[in-house]
Amino acid sequence: QVQLVESGGGLVQAGGSLRLSCAASGRTFSSYAMAWFRQAPGTERERVAHITWSSGNTYTYYKYSVQGRFTISRDNAKNTVYLQMNNLKPEDTAVYYCAAATTTATTYDVWGQGTQVTVSS
């Protein structure tokens, strides 16, 4: 069973940066699609970014509001996926979750515990 552990959240001023990390257990990490989601109080959980790997190529997706500010990446040798967040805005405040699609390419079925990101204005 894959397990995911996030780290790197915290409090930052608007315009600042944070890097989230998600360490995964499991020998087939490189075959999983990985994603970052976030959920602010009173809102639905939303996908912020995902990264997939196929035939030696890496594909990424970003929610429109974070394009140009967030970068998702993965280090398969370390079984870790990252989310570099720059130029943070108060509306980025949320609990951020790492997720893995371990059985199908599009269903995220394994989740981390979440890490809080708070951006002050």
More confident residue, 69 or 55: 69
Beta bridge partners of 77: none
Contacts of 88 (CB under 8 A, 6+ apart): 12, 14, 15, 16, 17, 18, 69, 117, 119
When computed from its CA atoms, the radius of gyration of the chain, rounded to whole angstroms, is 14
pLDDT at 105 over 90: no
Q: Is 114 helix (H, G, I), strand (E, B) or coil?
A: coil
Please report which confidence band the pLDDT of residue 103 belongs to, taking 50, 70 and 90 as the band edges.
confident
pLDDT tens per residue, range 2-49: 899 999 999 999 999 999 999 998 767 778 899 999 999 999 999 999
Work out the mean pLDDT of the chain and round it to a whole number: 93
pLDDT of amino acid 120: 97
Contacts of 54 (CB under 8 A, 6+ apart): none
C-alpha–C-alpha distance, residues 26 and 2, integer Å: 5
Q: Position of tokens 């280090």?
A: 75
